Amino acid sequence: MAMKASIEYNKQQYTIDLSKPLDISIPIDLSKQCLNAWYIDDPKISPVVLGDWTGSVEQGADVNFNNIAFNPHAHITHTECVGHITKEFYSINKKLSKFFFLAEVVSVTPEKIDNGDFIITKDAIKSFIHSKELEAIVIRTLPNTDKKKTTRYSNTNPPYLLQEAAEYLKEKGVKHLLIDLPSVDKEQDEGKLLSHNAFWNTQEEIRFDATITEFIYVPSSINDGTYLLNLMVAPFENDATPSKPILYKIL
């Protein structure tokens, strides 16, 4: 059954079907090879053990009662605020206070440069959004396969966003950047984090309400174009938290 809703954005009306969400998050799933980056061990989910009691119905308990150990930056779709790169503590749970945005899904083929890196340039994304007023961009890199949900990224030098591209998105007023890579920056960049810093404008007036979401997966069945984005985050007082971005097709 369709559940249509009408949304007003920048004085324009958009209609969506709430019964057809498009989930672009990657969960922690220990039944398969885990998504992983940044040189740390895999996440762990295990029942609590208290004396002779184990929190598992299979092992005789009344409930399943698990501990979960993970790192949001390394193991799961996550959304981060500027607190990820500042000495001062800033929490994504405080800085993200709105959760629905008009978003553009774009498919980009990273360009190989002389040193062997694969990069996303300003020109690669400019044509998608130059004439649009958007709060969010969802970048899907090509080629696109579901292997992105289980890739081991450490020491692989994945593609990344050039500083010029991050600056362009900032200048265009894009507040929420979502990408299907472990980082918008080069894996080993001597701690410069050029794209993070450019997008959050850390050298001038910091954009505290801007976010970066990494480790998404946009299935190929989702076409490029404009969607309504619901950016849901778990309530952790931390620089980053697991998130579940959902797209809704505009009717």
Domains of the chain, first to last: 4-28+72-249 (3.50.30.50)
Helix residue ranges per DSSP H, 27-185:
72-75, 92-95, 122-129, 163-171
Residue 86's nearest CA partner among 207, 188, 227 is 207
What does the pLDDT read at residue 98?
A: 94
Total-model pTM:
0.96
pLDDT tens per residue across all 251 residues of the chain: 678 888 887 788 989 999 999 999 999 999 999 999 999 999 999 999 999 999 999 999 999 999 999 999 999 999 999 999 999 999 999 999 999 999 999 999 999 999 999 999 999 999 888 667 889 999 999 999 999 999 999 999 999 999 999 999 999 999 999 999 999 999 999 999 999 999 999 999 999 999 999 999 999 999 999 999 999 999 999 999 999 999 999 99
* Geometric angle at alpha carbon 189, from 211 and 127, rounded to 5°: 50
Strands, E, within 147-224: which ranges?
160-161, 176-179, 211-214
Instruction: Fill in the amino acid letter for 10.
Output: N
What does the pLDDT read at residue 131?
A: 67
DSSP per-residue string spanning 111-151: EE-TTS-EEE-HHHHHHHHTT---SEEEEEESS--GGGGT-
Q: Please state, in angstroms and rounded to a whole number, the distance separating the CA atoms of residues 81 and 25.
A: 18
Residues 6+ positions from 74 with CB-CB distance below 8 Å: 36, 37, 38, 40, 182
Q: Please state, in angstroms and rounded to a whole number, the distance separating the CA atoms of residues 107 and 175.
A: 19
* Geometric angle at alpha carbon 248, from 71 and 241, rounded to 5°: 15
Q: Please state, in angstroms and rounded to a whole number, the distance separating the CA atoms of residues 125 and 161.
A: 10
Q: Please state, in angstroms and rounded to a whole number, the distance separating the CA atoms of residues 232 and 46.
A: 25
What does the pLDDT read at residue 150?
A: 97
